Structure 1
Amino acid sequence: MPKLLTINGLTGYIILAATAFAVAAGPANAQIIERDLHRGVMEGPEQLDPQYAFHAAERAILTDLFVGLVVDDAAGQPQPGAAESWTTAKDGRQWVFKLRDDLKWSDNRPLVAGDFVYAFQRLLAPQSSAPFASMFYPITGARALHASKAGDLATLGVKARNKRTLVFDLEKPTPYFLSLLSHPSAFPLRKDLIERGPDSWTRPGRLVSNGAYILGEWLPGRHVKLRKNWGFYDPASVNLDNIFYDIVEHGEVALERFFSGELVILSGIPRDRIAGLMETAPEIVRLHPTLTTDYLVFNTQNPPFDDPKVREALALAIDSRSLVMNVLGRGEIPTDGMLPEGMANLRAPAQPDRDSPYPPKRPLSPSQKRSKAKHLLDNSGYGARDSLRITLHYNNSETHQVIAEAIAGMWKKIGVRTDVYGSHYNVHYGDLGIGDFDVARAGWIADFDDPMAVLELFLSDKERFNYSAFADKEFDRLFKAANGQPNPRERAIGLYRAHQRAISQYPVVPLYNHASRNLVAPTVTGWVDNVKDIHPSRFLNLPN
């Protein structure tokens, strides 16, 4: 493996790999040189149905394959996508989108407003188990339709006025509505192809898309190859002919492939290599805060975690700053809240009202927190050493294991005995979904830049992702009142208070906000760090 010190040598390797070409068949006297870009990802896609995408790699690939009404630009900001323009009613309850002229699917069939109508009807149909369907409940009739056993799809407030005009009616003004429309769940879909092959329409050769790229090859455990879509509405903006998402599950192998020049982008860097890379090759390391929070979740349905004081004691004993500084050390931000730093549409009151239940708390030192934690356990009947024994669950990864063991050590200092248990990603989150755990590690990526993307996890009627089974009438009241507030400033303050209420009950223990960890070769242009950690290949280039 090349030494990390030789950054000039590294660049040479990467230039060699980046400018490698394939000669394709063409006119008798011409050669077509295809330009490829290889992106390394630590886990491959499990499926490529946009409405069921969950993993980061799935979303990255789908963002290359499809285009919604709006798209995220290189900086993660919304810009026109399939829609060339839109208007909003004065009361904020109706949005009208005008599609670009002559939009086409990759099989050359015209793309029309009805393809978006079908996608939203499928997403919110009564039988749908799409994980992010509830994000679109602001649409008129969406919640009732999704919750029904056999609702009428025509009641959904998404209509095609004509082939190029799409109309959304909303239950109430929704400040973040536009940002929802770049999510894969809002991508257009082909009804004829899905009904013809419900279990096979996402396979290579069958998947028809409307984005900058089309699916060329999908070899599980190896790579996903995307090819340039010449029918895309702006093909001149697509610089590269082929994009390879190479699956490299082992960190050291991933680094070796990057430094050999085989990969020019690597998403996810082994925890123990960050410091060395920052010292020897800082120009290739991209660390940036994201809208992602790691946290612990308590099963509040089972004793002793049905006792808020026990949950508070365990939360107080965790020193998240120590986790970040001494265990992780890769740009994460310690936090005591669930809302990532810098999130939009959030505002603390200028000063708490005299009767406010949310006064600012005086920070406690780690030793003071441990003392309070022991006192809380004493009062809850768990004062004797080892009288409380729990299992901390995590999904398998070196980082998650190290964090779990560090937390177990912190709990040991207050007399709590902890067993750590790791399992495969799907098994882990399956157990969380059915409540088969004591305390567990979880992570949440805000899919749009608004507190709603996180706070809805704590709603009493939230069936998916409310792993703690938290139910609090006061939180529900505060959240719903704030989210229905037409004044943006009052809404932002109300959501802040709802968040404080949820955190004060300790259904979860926020640990830290993530930083994206990417290696990007100096030969790559067009990469812009952003809080969403979304980097469409369309905006990337490898200049000669």
Structure 2
Amino acid sequence: MPTDITPIHVHRRFWSGLALLVVVLIAVGCGKRETAVEAGIRTQTLHIGNRAEPPDLDPQTNNSLVVSFIHEALFEGLVRLANDGATIRPGVAERWEISPDGLRYTFHLRADAAWSNGDLITAPDFVASFERFMNPQLGCEAVNFTYPIVGARDFVEGRITDFGLVGVEATDASTLEIRLRFRAPYFLSVLADKHFVPLHRSSVERFDGWNRRGGAWTKPGNLISNGPFALTEWKPNVVVAVAKNPHYWNAPAVKLNEVHFHPIEDPGTEERAFRSGQLHVTFSLPSSKVAAYMERQAPELHAMPLLQTNFISFMTTRAPFDDARVRQAFSLAIDRDQLLATVLKGQGDVASTYVRSGSGGYELPPFSRYDPATARRLLAEAGYPGGAGFPRQEFTLSSRDEDKLIYAQALQEMWRQTLGVEVQMVPTEFKVWLDVLRNRSFALTTDGWNMTVNDPSEMLALGVTGDPNNDANWSNADYDAAFAAIEQATTDEARRDAIIMCERIIGEEVPYAPVYHSVRNFLLHPSVQGWRGNTLQVIDWTAVSLHE
């Protein structure tokens, strides 16, 4: 059969096609490769810096900001906060009533609230999850949030064992009632916290996780959640990835398809990842870079004052820090103004109080100051004149990043020059530091608290005897009485007086030496829409999207 394609025509077509292929390959090879940010805009996949590797994803036993962003994506409680950090919005509960005396909250669950596997969420799910959160066996650090609830503290501290005596009850499958011991105007905000989310009990129990912290139930393929996203991937020290949850009651409002959380502990590395197109949002920005971004008025730079205090925790049950005069001397030797001006440029504001003044609307008088002469006198009175005979102490750092090292070195030098004492810095990985806190195996450490409720009582609770977050292991009867007066106050004036008394005692006894209140400097790519910084660092994931 005759054909119009001879062997020579075949060869020409082959070589012409090969030449075209080479040109295409060269063009592709020489062309600009799509960055993670660019691909994310195209696919609605947000890449966010998450500071550190999560210890695990158990929302009730984790008490760190590096996990809270992930938890907000995976879980939802009865109510939630808008991205202004203040407005209360319905969550699993579509509506609620509060009794006139403020002691009874009744929540009505929405009929379409479901788990990520399609199971419906019920009021008994919340009761069971609250009981797990208060389980003394787990030792959840944030359990003090439950103490306004009738019987909660007695259950947590083992004085009662019947959870039926705690003021949390499912009156039917879709109605939850919570009874309080005292009026707590901030209580709805408490319920928006990640610790009060429901857990899918059968899946947790399948991996033997109901009566212990974390575990295999928090891994991809095992974790059943109820938030706008579901867990799809977790590569330790690389990424935690979540994808849109089709069973979420408000799924149509979720614009992102995926969020990838990247644990980058070093702010310098994180900043370079942003500049190279690997991140849409950073967790922070190195203090050494803030001035340069400010000078050129970079639109990607955002600064937000936080309800967060960075302080030094002293182990008050171990010499030499069992002596309040030693703790006072260390605090009085800190030149906070110089530290913020020369070391922590743009990273915060001087902390003259433990809780940031203005929190919850309460203006607080200053109690912490720089007074080197008094610092030296107190140390001498404690038996260490000019630092003579003072035992060398390990100064545990909460991370290994450069900013933390520079900050700690400045403190180390202030104590050496003013007091004549030496402390040896011990940088630790974040996960290791959390264990150090739980075991209280430190002498003094960099510490801090990020408030999740805009009320001083949340942070002041850290000084109460036996509180799970009392890292200093401090006990003071006058302080406990002052804190109890906050709860029992019947007027705003009485409550303010009790709050100020707590601050005064901390300023005098110094279990914690406040250093600075944080200002979060971070980088935000212009493609990110709906992101709004707030003092509580809440992310409303239904509001966020990516656009060219």
Normalised-by-shorter TM-score class: 0.7 to 0.9
1:153 maps to 2:163: yes
Residues 533 and 326 (structure 1), Cα distance of their counterparts in 2 relative to 1, 3 Å cut: same
Moved more, 328-337 or 245-254: 245-254
Q: CA deviation at 1:67?
A: 1.0
Residues 253 and 102 (structure 1), Cα distance of their counterparts in 2 relative to 1, 3 Å cut: same
Secondary structure of the residue aligned to 1:282 is coil
The amino acid across from 2:124 in the alignment is G
1:377 corresponds in structure 2 to 379
Pairing of 1:195-234 with structure 2 (within 5 A): 195-198=205-208, 199-234=215-250
Unaligned segments of structure 1, at least 5 residues:
1-12, 23-32, 350-359
1:49 corresponds in structure 2 to 58
Cα separation, 2, equivalents of 1:522 and 1:200: 38
Answer whether contact 2:267 2:401 (CA < 8 A) is retained.
no
The amino acid across from 1:298 in the alignment is F
Cα separation, 1, equivalents of 2:288 and 2:443: 29
Q: CA deviation at 1:389?
A: 4.1
* 1:177-218 residue CA offsets vs partner (Å, 9 max, x unmatched): 111111111001111111112332221122111111111111
Pairing of 1:126-525 with structure 2 (within 5 A): 126-148=136-158, 151-198=161-208, 199-280=215-296, 282-347=298-363, 369-384=371-386, 386-391=388-393, 392-395=395-398, 396-422=400-426, 423-462=428-467, 464-525=468-529
* 1:501-534 residue CA offsets vs partner (Å, 9 max, x unmatched): 2222222211001112221011111111100112
Cα separation, 2, equivalents of 1:128 and 1:468: 20
1:25 corresponds in structure 2 to none
How much is the aligned-residue C-alpha RMSD, in angstroms? 2.4
Higher Cα Rg, which structure: 2
Answer whether contact 1:83 1:99 (CA < 8 A) is retained.
yes
2:39 is matched with which residue: 20, 25, 41?
A: 20
Q: CA deviation at 1:385?
A: 5.1
The amino acid across from 1:324 in the alignment is L
Q: CA deviation at 1:294?
A: 0.9
> TM-score scaled to structure 1, two decimals?
0.88
Cα separation, 1, equivalents of 2:482 and 2:132: 31
Answer whether contact 1:387 1:416 (CA < 8 A) is retained.
no
Percentage identity across paired residues of the two chains: 28
Moved more, 123-132 or 387-396: 387-396
Q: CA deviation at 1:387?
A: 3.5
The amino acid across from 2:376 in the alignment is K
Cα separation, 2, equivalents of 1:143 and 1:188: 20
Unaligned segments of structure 2, at least 5 residues:
1-31, 209-214
Secondary structure of the residue aligned to 1:207 is coil
1:120 corresponds in structure 2 to 130
Answer whether contact 2:94 2:109 (CA < 8 A) is retained.
yes
1:66 is matched with which residue: 41, 59, 75?
A: 75
Cα separation, 2, equivalents of 1:534 and 1:455: 21
Cα separation, 2, equivalents of 1:374 and 1:43: 38
Cα separation, 2, equivalents of 1:206 and 1:187: 17
1:3 corresponds in structure 2 to none
Answer whether contact 1:53 1:184 (CA < 8 A) is retained.
no
Residues 467 and 234 (structure 1), Cα distance of their counterparts in 2 relative to 1, 3 Å cut: closer
Cα separation, 1, equivalents of 2:412 and 2:529: 43
Q: CA deviation at 1:55?
A: 2.5
Residues 246 and 432 (structure 1), Cα distance of their counterparts in 2 relative to 1, 3 Å cut: closer
Q: CA deviation at 1:21?
A: 6.5
Answer whether contact 1:346 1:493 (CA < 8 A) is retained.
no
Moved more, 236-245 or 270-279: 270-279
Cα separation, 2, equivalents of 1:415 and 1:347: 32
The amino acid across from 1:518 in the alignment is F
1:27 corresponds in structure 2 to none
Cα separation, 2, equivalents of 1:426 and 1:20: 31
Cα separation, 1, equivalents of 2:334 and 2:270: 32
Q: CA deviation at 1:270?
A: 1.9
Q: CA deviation at 1:54?
A: 2.4
Cα separation, 2, equivalents of 1:508 and 1:250: 26
Answer whether contact 1:345 1:492 (CA < 8 A) is retained.
no
Q: CA deviation at 1:345?
A: 4.8
Cα separation, 1, equivalents of 2:450 and 2:161: 31
2:534 is matched with which residue: 511, 530, 535?
A: 530
1:5 corresponds in structure 2 to none
* 1:279-300 residue CA offsets vs partner (Å, 9 max, x unmatched): 2352111111111111112222
* 1:102-144 residue CA offsets vs partner (Å, 9 max, x unmatched): 2111111111111111110111124232221121011111111
Secondary structure of the residue aligned to 2:171 is strand
Cα separation, 2, equivalents of 1:456 and 1:429: 19
Residues 492 and 412 (structure 1), Cα distance of their counterparts in 2 relative to 1, 3 Å cut: same
1:109 corresponds in structure 2 to 119
Answer whether contact 1:140 1:157 (CA < 8 A) is retained.
yes
Cα separation, 2, equivalents of 1:134 and 1:415: 37
Q: CA deviation at 1:150?
A: 7.5
Secondary structure of the residue aligned to 1:97 is strand
Q: CA deviation at 1:449?
A: 1.3
2:19 corresponds in structure 1 to none
Moved more, 107-116 or 425-434: 425-434
Secondary structure of the residue aligned to 1:388 is coil
Q: CA deviation at 1:380?
A: 3.0
Q: CA deviation at 1:431?
A: 3.4
Q: CA deviation at 1:321?
A: 1.3
Cα separation, 2, equivalents of 1:453 and 1:299: 21
Residues matched between the structures, number: 507
Answer whether contact 1:64 1:213 (CA < 8 A) is retained.
yes
> TM-score scaled to structure 2, two decimals?
0.87
Answer whether contact 1:335 1:513 (CA < 8 A) is retained.
yes
Residues 52 and 183 (structure 1), Cα distance of their counterparts in 2 relative to 1, 3 Å cut: same
Residues 14 and 514 (structure 1), Cα distance of their counterparts in 2 relative to 1, 3 Å cut: farther
Q: CA deviation at 1:19?
A: 4.9
2:17 corresponds in structure 1 to none
2:109 corresponds in structure 1 to 99
Cα separation, 1, equivalents of 2:50 and 2:38: 21
